[in-house]
């Protein structure tokens, strides 16, 4: 009988542990108006730029630690100074359009004190430049 009770309590303990709630999702203190931009067709060898606007939705200043692109063909520019409560900021992303064809590029925006970066995406198609 003791073995049965021990086995039952062990089963209940393991079952309760396996059903523990997942950790709460981290809240990013900035909110982007859009996180994706499509350039459509872009003439080859002519760089294109878009701006991603965001707002500090927290009650403290927010610092963008970095914004990194997945390749050298995409260049992000981000604010180096803190964005105050309720203020907006802009991250500019430039694609150099050197190679023909469809493209999708991501920029990872790292906010201070937030583990998960925000993902910004650009896409389009580079076509031959008209003469």
pLDDT in tens, 13-56: 444 444 544 444 568 999 999 999 999 999 999 999 999 999 99
Cα–Cα distance list, 14 to 5, 6, 8, 22 (Å): 14, 12, 10, 16
CA quadruple 128, 105, 121, 130: dihedral, nearest 10: -10
Handedness of CA 53, 82, 80, 69 (dihedral sign): negative
Q: Do strands 118-127 and 36-43 pair parallel, antiparallel, or not at all (unpaired)?
A: parallel
Average pLDDT, the chain: 87
pLDDT of residue 51: 98
Q: What is the mean pLDDT of residues 69-93?
A: 97
Instruction: Look up the pTM and report it.
Output: 0.79
Residue-range domains of the chain with CATH:
27-127 (2.60.40.10)
């Amino acid at each position: 009988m003791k073995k049965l009770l021990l086995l039952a309590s062990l089963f209940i303990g393991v079952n309760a542990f396996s059903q523990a709630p997942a950790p709460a999702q981290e809240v990013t203190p900035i909110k982007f108006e859009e996180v994706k931009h499509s350039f459509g067709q872009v003439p080859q060898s002519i760089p294109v730029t878009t701006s991603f606007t965001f707002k500090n939705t927290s009650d403290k200043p927010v610092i963008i630690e970095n914004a990194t692109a997945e390749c050298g063909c995409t260049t992000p520019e981000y604010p180096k100074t803190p964005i105050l409560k309720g203020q907006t900021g802009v991250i500019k992303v430039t694609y150099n359009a050197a190679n023909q064809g469809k493209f999708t590029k991501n920029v990872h925006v790292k906010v201070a004190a937030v583990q998960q970066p925000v993902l910004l995406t650009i896409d389009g198609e580079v076509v031959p430049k008209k003469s």
